[in-house]
Amino acid sequence: MRTLILLALAGLGAQLVDGSLGMAYGVTSTTLLLAFGTNPAAASATVHLAEIGTTLASGVAHWRFGNVDWRVVAKIGLPGAVGAFAGATVLSNLSTELAEPAMALILLGLGAYVLTRFTFLGLPTGNLGKPLRKRFLSPLGVVAGFLDATGGGGWGPVGTPAILASGRLEPRKVIGSVDTSEFLVAVAASLGFLFGLGSEGVDLAWAGALLVGGLIAAPIAAWLVRHVPPRLLGSAVGGIIVLTNVRTLLKSDWLQATDATQWTVYALIYALWAAAVAHSFREHRKQSRIAPETADDAEESTDLAGEGAETAAVGARTGGGSGNA
């Protein structure tokens, strides 16, 4: 019972992060299941089974808040489903000895990406309004879907930054569209694992606990996406993912690190993680101070432009009157 409660809380936290950042539900949940000793294929299958419900609820919530571009959902979601089915099939046929460190490496890479992305980079909007083309979204969907199934997460960490980097869709709609299209990926991956594993190793009670937590969090996350500073949240979550998967790798048969080595590495990660969160907080505060000043400058420019236009109009009328006289 205690485990189920912890999983429900983990599902709630993971969905809050995913709904706010457009990524990290699968990465966070799979990392936790691996820490509990679940084999990689079963962990990914359990998470994707739970994601069928959480992504559906999240998609509905984002739609209600106006965060979804349905053209993007169609163009990336269907290819993503194909990639996810293929990834689930591949992972189902790997041995546990090979799959566990391989998945930890994928999750570590995704966690490091989340950490660095949200610590150091802003959200570009330079090409806002231009359409996203199918030739860009389809290959992206296939790759993201494949990584999502084989790594137990990856749809958001691959898809969200790539679409954000294009600058063609406002961030809240990127997050809402990626979250909504993930429903198709979750269904396809679950079918792939069903054909590859059957029901072997998939704990329905664990999937249910993750689902309950995610369902509670989905509408809250759709609202939070308008208010939570992405840099701060991304840095915090990225650090958790990096730390947990480094721990898995250090304890694996591949490395078999000594206790002294493990604690040295953990101390280094904690120091870097704290520095990243502190940097994100400073940048958020800086941007918060700059934004009102920019708005004031824009308002002042608008007022001056209006006054200039009014003066020009008066001058034109006066000049016209003198000419007639």
> Is residue 33 within a helix (H) or strand (E), and if so which, with residue range?
helix 25-35
What is the distance between the alpha carbons of residues 11 and 31, in angstroms, rounded to a whole number?
Answer: 12
Q: What are 149's two structure tokens? A: 């199934």
Domain ranges of the chain: 2-297
Least confident of 76-90, 218-232, 246-260, 300-314: 300-314
At 22, the pLDDT band (50, 70, 90 cuts) reads low
Kindly state the average pLDDT of the residues 299-315.
52
CA distance 95 to 273: 33
> Could you tell me the pLDDT band of residue 78, with boundaries at 50, 70 and 90?
very high
How buried is residue 109: exposed, middle or buried, by Cβ count under 10 Å (0-12/13-18/19+)?
middle
Residue 81 confidence class, pLDDT cut points 50, 70, 90:
very high
Spell 65-97 as b/e; 16+ CB within 10 A means b.
Answer: eebbbeebbebbbbbbbbbbbbbbbebbeeeee
pTM reported for the whole predicted model: 0.63
**Is 110:143 a contact under the CB 8 Å cutoff?**
no
3-state secondary structure of 218: helix
Whole-angstrom distance, CA of residue 124 vs CA of residue 207: 36
- The residues, ordered by sequence, that sit 6+ positions from 61 with a Cβ below 8 Å of its Cβ are 19, 218, 219, 221, 222
Q: Is the Cβ–Cβ distance between 27 and 110 less than 8 Å?
A: yes
Summarize pLDDT for 173-218 with one digit per residue, the tens.
887 888 888 899 989 988 888 887 766 656 677 777 777 777 777 6
